[in-house]
A and B are shown apart, each in its own frame.
Chain A
Amino acid sequence: MLSQHSELKTGNNADADFIADHLLHRLYRLQQQHRHIPPQLMVEVAREFGLPVSQVVAVVNFYSFLYQQPVGRYHLLFSNCTSCGYQAGEVNLLALLCRQLNIASGQTRADGVVSVDETSCIGMCDHGPSMLVNGVPIVNLDEGRIKQLCNLIAAEQSLDDWPADWFRINNHIRKPDLLLNAPLECGDSLKKALAGDALLMLESIMQSGLRGRGGAGFATGKKWLFCREAESDTRYVVCNADEGEPGTFKDRVLLQCHADALFEGMTLCAYGIGAKKGFLYLRGEYRYLLGHLQAVLRRRYDSGLLGASILGQAGFSFDIEIVIGAGAYICGEESALIESLEGKPGIPRIRPPFPVTHGYLGRPTVVNNVETFIAATHIVQYGSAGFSAVGTEKSSGSKLLSVSGDCRTPGIYEYPYGVSIQQVLDDCGATQVQAVQIGGPAGSLLAKKDFNRQISFEDVSTGGSFLIFGENRDLLSINRNFARFFAHESCGFCTPCRVGTRLLENSIGKIADGRATWRDVDEIKQLSGFVRHYSHCGLGHTAANHILDSLRHFPGDIQNLLVQQAFTPAFDLDAALETARQMTQRDDADAHLE
């Protein structure tokens, strides 16, 4: 069975250690087994977990990697990111793949052997066009590999026999600094912290000026202190490894190379706030890292760095479990993540109350990014003074950037905060740059005149994504890509985002198709304002940034595509007649409008 082979690749038939007994995991296994989750199994699972059937149905419907209709035995999900996606220069690799396999994207071939679809960025942006094959990433795809891959599928070759280098994922650490250079011995920071009072440790995190690396930039020490002070007998530590922002892959590399420092940071947090339980919420796209992460956890338990009486300190126990997502960008939003941890669709909660007081199961919970926990470990180990000496006034320390797109050496670049965009471009060998998108589709699009600006919370803030667009890139196609991303990833809870992101996608499509007028542009501007100001969560608040930035910095690109008339209808009249033509089996001139 193919599913077993793919389980080998993902290390998933290793013991189920440190994997929570979780609805998403149960559904994932069923998906692997049956290639979809038929209704009667949803009913069974609901019974097993003591949940209403509707909750299981809602979960299956919400997450991209759970299906109600069978996918193929080879299930291919091509990334549609602007960096690791299928558009390789002029060549559309997805179209090529579909042609070769005789299949349409979004479908399962009638023989059940193969299915193809697109998926949001899979975090392989430093590896060129990439896809997930039965959940496992294969990278550096080009026309040759696509053809070869189709042959392997035609021969129904097991994934284990596919070329090993397709699966080889490099770390591409191009420029280490504060965090990546410093040696961190397992347990050293913990020993230091345990030697003193927990409050003392929190104090030093606060003094370091560390702010969250996941995007919002909340002061980490303060967050931990608030959580500690919240009324409760139970607290939780959650690491946000959902890394869904297109163009970001630094957490992938950190999980691969610095998992110990991450788990140590979570343990420090547990010590600081008084938590006994922690979760690593790993995006489904990174499931291939599971075996590695489990091995690190096993080692830490064996060395007394996790479990009961950590480092011999009676009364300090802490356990970490891994929960793996199933394809939903919104689950990176901390309250949606918590909902997902609780086995529900990832719908962002009403905030306040914030997770620090009402988080997982309603208990005080710290949610931090992977990089934030690792920085905390560093601070406890090397002191807060050294950390705050690096960076700028309001942005202490360093930032890992995931650099990709049109440059010579994509990969991980770590800089002290305050580095200029131009510096990064120079270091990664990016010349003839038209624009950079910093912070992913939700961040800011910057033109040349802004390349002297700095990466910092005071100036250009980013969770880590640094996408470079060369001079010959069509920016509007980038906008179109981003607009689709948001429409696809909107959770659907609130009206302005659920409907507005779809309307924006259509309007941008209209421009790109050369059917829009200046009036459509005005409409986009207004609509963008409504989506931004009236949505419920950060996804909606930022979903229109990219198009507003484009209109501001590159108005000419869009104007050139506009039709010089006052109004054109949103729909193509002639195309609307297509169904009628098919029904009457006509395609002659009279069956068309023009």
Chain B
Amino acid sequence: MTETTGTIFIDGKAVGFMQGQTIMDAALSAQVYIPHLCHYPGLTPSGNCRLCVVEADGRRAAACTTAAKAGQQISNNTAELNAARKVITQMLFVEGNHICPSCEKSGNCKLQAMGYHLGMLEEHYPQFNPRRVLDASHPDILLDRGRCILCGLCVRASHEVDKKNVFAIAGRGADAYLIVNTVSGKLGDSNLDVTDLAANICPVGAIMFKERGYVTPIGERIYDRQHISDVAMHEHVTEQKGDKKR
């Protein structure tokens, strides 16, 4: 067992934590699910999606970027917070072009799984229908920016684990978009490899492998078989190449 240095209380449940851990770290190690999309254990947390916002001692804070403090009282699985999470998920849906029925990621997609988790039955807000450039220049990997939720996971994975720095986010406000760190701006000119974490970590169908359609049939995919809250318990970046989890 790991040694704890303090205890926080998430929805009343006592959860131990070690010095330096965030609320999210502590929750995950205690098998408590706090919804998240832009966080992946092992990568530096970013706090951009805002799904993991909890109430820590009465103040709203992103669990993935807030340090656990002994005695902290945290509300997580409440009707109010989950309602907000649903709205945030709806925002992510309408902001991009999410073509679930025809998307190869369907069933393996975290955004979709989050929608199910939160009981989202409609997109609610008017669609933005953005026109974002698709990049098919890489021989093995397709980048469809229309489905990107700007979570920055590929950016961090490439930088921190693959040590390649292939991606970045550029632009401001609703015009923000994913860019590729090459002179041409094209993915085909990057050294992104199919085994890179950055090529595998995308929670949605923005970074996908070419010519690898429907290997697993719909109905038997990750979130067809398991709930997102269970899958999240087993996610962690492993440093070795080739042993990367989706």
Contact = CB atoms under 8 A, between A and B. Distances in A.
Interface in A452-505: 487-496, 498-503
Contacts of B88: 495-496, 530, 534
B179 A54 contact: yes
Interface string B165-202: 10111111111100111110100000000000000000
B172 A491 contact: yes
A352 B56 CA distance: 14
A57 B91 contact: no
A350 interface: yes
A506 interface: yes
Given A495-B95, A533-B53, 16 more contacts: A58-B170, A62-B171, A328-B172, A345-B170, A350-B47, A489-B172, A492-B169, A492-B172, A492-B175, A494-B47, A494-B49, A495-B48, A495-B149, A499-B91, A502-B173, A530-B87
A345 to B, nearest CB: 7
Interface in A30-70: 39, 43, 52-55, 57-58, 60-62
B116 interface: no
B170 A495 contact: no
Interface of B: 47-51, 53, 60, 62, 65, 67, 84, 87-88, 91-92, 94-95, 125-126, 128, 149-150, 165, 167-176, 179-183, 185
- Most B CB contacts (10 A, CB to CB) among A39, A54, A57, A570 go to A54
B24 to A, nearest CB: 13
Contact of A39 (B170, B175, B185): B185
A54 B171 contact: no
A58 B175 CA distance: 12
Nearest to B175: A492
26 contacts: A39-B185, A43-B183, A52-B165, A52-B168, A52-B181, A53-B181, A54-B165, A54-B181, A58-B171, A61-B172, A62-B172, A328-B172, A487-B174, A489-B173, A492-B169, A492-B171, A492-B172, A493-B48, A494-B49, A495-B50, A498-B174, A498-B176, A499-B128, A506-B126, A526-B87, A534-B50
Contacts of B65: 350
Contact of B84 (A43, A345, A503, A530): A530
Contacts of A503: 91, 125-126
Contacts of A492: 150, 169, 171-176
B171 A499 contact: no
A410 to B, nearest CB: 30
A54 B91 contact: no
B21 to A, nearest CB: 15
Nearest to B94: A499
Nearest to B85: A534
A535 B50 CA distance: 7
B165 A571 contact: no
Contacts of B128: 499, 502
A562 B215 CA distance: 52
Contact of A62 (B165, B167, B170): B170
A536 interface: yes
Nearest to B181: A54
A491 B185 contact: no
Nearest first, the 4 closest Cβ-Cβ pairs linking A and B are A492-B176, A54-B168, A54-B181, A499-B91
B173 A490 contact: yes
A6 B183 CA distance: 32
By size class, the interface of chain A is 35 or more
B172 A534 contact: no
Interface in A531-547: 533-536
A397 B57 CA distance: 34
A498 B173 contact: yes
Nearest to A569: B126
B162 to A, nearest CB: 14
B173 A571 contact: no
Nearest to B53: A534
B183 A57 contact: no
A561 B192 CA distance: 54
B168 A495 contact: no
A57 B178 CA distance: 11
B174 to A, nearest CB: 5
Nearest to A529: B84
Contacts of B49: 494-495
Interface string A494-521: 1110111111001000000000000000
B180 A571 contact: no
Contact of A571 (B51, B126, B175, B185): B126
Given A495-B91, A495-B92, A57 B48 contact: no
B95 A54 contact: no
Contacts of B181: 52-54
A526 B80 CA distance: 12
A493 B180 CA distance: 18
B60 A54 contact: no
Nearest to A500: B91
A94 B65 CA distance: 44
A78 B53 CA distance: 39
B173 A57 contact: no
B170 A498 contact: no
A316 to B, nearest CB: 37
Nearest to A571: B126
Nearest to B95: A499
B159 to A, nearest CB: 9
B25 to A, nearest CB: 15
Contact of A494 (B48, B67, B125, B165): B48
A58 B170 CA distance: 4
A352 B61 CA distance: 11
Contacts of A328: 172
A506 B91 CA distance: 14
Contact of A57 (B50, B51, B174, B185): B185
A534 B173 CA distance: 16
A61 B91 contact: no
Given A496-B91, A530-B84, A536-B50, A345 B173 contact: no
Given A494-B48, A499-B92, A58 B168 contact: yes
A149 B88 CA distance: 47
A16 to B, nearest CB: 28
Nearest to A42: B183
A62 to B, nearest CB: 5
Contacts of A530: 84, 87-88
B173 A487 contact: yes
Given A499-B92, A503-B91, A571-B126, A58 B185 contact: no
Contacts of B172: 61-62, 328, 345, 489-492
A339 to B, nearest CB: 13
Contact of B170 (A57, A487, A533): A57
A434 to B, nearest CB: 30
A501 B92 contact: no
Contacts of A570: 126
A57 B167 CA distance: 11
A534 B60 CA distance: 7
Contacts of A488: 173
B44 to A, nearest CB: 10
A460 B202 CA distance: 46
B110 to A, nearest CB: 14
Contacts of B67: 352
